[in-house]
Chains A and B, each alone.
Chain A
């Protein structure tokens, strides 16, 4: 059972580079989320999606973009990486608003 799969697991970027963090789920969930977690801190919502073709900003969307062209995939794009984006990024999905969210194992990103 794959669940939520995030790739890559680790990445080091130089300032100004761009990259896409991939997230895929095979549970046919409508809701998908991207969070970042800084060391010793909680999760902050970057973007979320309630279904294919629909995305919305969370608490900390600046510097990021997302798309949801299919139910399964919800990639997160960093266009101009900055040191402040060094963090662990978690993708999650859920079926309905009052159900459990399933998380990927996270992507550890360092911007130098």
Chain B
């Protein structure tokens, strides 16, 4: 079983739509959680951290459910510029801290 799993999509949505991405992780030693954004042929960049209490940054809301080992990202009022791949990221305490990426969910926002 993969340590971090995501629906690869693609999600094709119109501008203004609300879209939600889900991610599950398998290792109970997972300690920190993030969503990264990757544009085509570019390096990943941090979108937001994910906290147990849930957190919001403008149109983006992230939630964590430790009991179900589940992370979500909600994007409201989608913009054309939101088109990208969204990567779920988990840091696992192995003595050191290894950071594992999900395979990513592709989003296409269309006019």
Which residues of A are at the interface with B, using a C-beta cutoff of 8 A?
A: 31, 33, 35, 41-45, 48-50, 54, 56, 58-59, 90, 92, 94, 97-98, 100-101, 103-106
Task: Describe A's contact surface by its main secondary structure.
Answer: strand
Contact A43 B101, beta carbon cutoff 8 Å: yes
A106 to chain B, nearest CB (A): 6
Stretch of B11-19, B53-61, B65-73, B89-97 at the chain-chain interface: B89-97
Task: Describe B's contact surface by its main secondary structure.
Answer: strand
Contact B43 A98, beta carbon cutoff 8 Å: no
Q: CA of A35 to CA of B97 in the docked complex: distance in angstroms?
A: 15
B46 at the interface (CB under 8 A from A): yes
B98 at the interface (CB under 8 A from A): yes
Chain A neighbourhood of B97, CB < 8 A: 31, 50, 97
Known: A97-B32, A98-B32. A56 touches B98 (CB 8 A): yes
Contact B101 A50, beta carbon cutoff 8 Å: no
Contact A41 B98, beta carbon cutoff 8 Å: no
Chain A neighbourhood of B42, CB < 8 A: 105
List the 4 closest A-B pairs by CB distance, nearest first. A42-B103, A97-B97, A103-B43, A50-B96
Q: CA of A54 to CA of B97 in the docked complex: distance in angstroms?
A: 12
Contact B91 A97, beta carbon cutoff 8 Å: yes
Contact A48 B98, beta carbon cutoff 8 Å: yes
Q: Which of A45, A100, A105 contacts B100 (CB 8 A)?
A: A45
A33 to chain B, nearest CB (A): 6
Mind listing 11 A-B residue pairs with CB under 8 Å?
A: A33-B98, A42-B102, A42-B103, A45-B101, A48-B96, A50-B96, A56-B94, A56-B98, A100-B49, A105-B42, A105-B43
